[in-house]
């Protein structure tokens, strides 16, 4: 998705998951285009300007210590009009809990864009809204 010149940041709080992602990236020949970063349980711990165009949070938001903080961090690093695809596992996260996560995202400054269908997941596509 990032293309030949795009850069991908892989962020996880578990060093083991970053290692597995690195091995998979090396096998696929895309390792030079990926930066690996170990975040903290309640923060992305990324001191970067708002340059990202897309963030994928797949089946992990419910595992974070502070969803509001993580969503705020994501809002901060996304550039204008940047997109966040948030997906959580249906077998673990109920509709009410997922709606609470969406409310936190809206509070952080995101706007609803779409609700894509992702197998075995509750998903929402959000856009970085312009703050007044």
For each of the chain's 132 residues, which pLDDT tens digit applies?
Answer: 888 889 999 999 899 999 999 999 999 999 999 999 999 878 898 888 899 999 999 999 999 989 999 999 999 999 999 999 999 999 999 999 999 999 999 999 999 999 999 999 999 999 998 765
φ/ψ of 22, rounded to 5, equals -65, -40
**Amino acid 131: pLDDT:** 63
**Amino acid 130: pLDDT:** 75
User: Looking up tokens 């007044």, which residue turns up?
Assistant: 132
The matching CATH number, chosen from 3.40.50.720, 1.20.5.50, 3.40.50.150, 3.40.50.1860, for 50-128 is 3.40.50.150
Looking at 90-128, which runs of residues are DSSP E strands? 110-114, 121-128
Helix (H) or strand (E) holding 43: none
Task: For residue 37, give the DSSP letter.
Answer: E
pTM attached to this predicted model: 0.93
């Amino acid at each position: 998705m990032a293309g030949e010149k795009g850069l991908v940041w892989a962020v996880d709080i578990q060093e083991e998951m970053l290692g597995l992602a690195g091995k998979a990236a090396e096998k696929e020949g895309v390792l030079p285009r990926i930066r690996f970063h170990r975040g903290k349980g309640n923060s992305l711990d990324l001191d970067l300007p708002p340059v990202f165009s897309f963030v994928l949070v797949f089946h992990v938001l419910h595992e974070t210590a502070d969803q509001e903080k993580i969503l705020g961090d994501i809002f901060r690093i996304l550039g204008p009009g940047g997109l966040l695809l948030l997906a959580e596992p249906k077998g673990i996260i109920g509709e009410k809990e997922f709606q609470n996560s969406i409310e936190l995202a809206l509070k952080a400054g995101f706007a609803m864009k779409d609700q894509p269908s992702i197998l075995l997941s509750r998903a929402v596509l959000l856009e970085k809204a312009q703050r007044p």
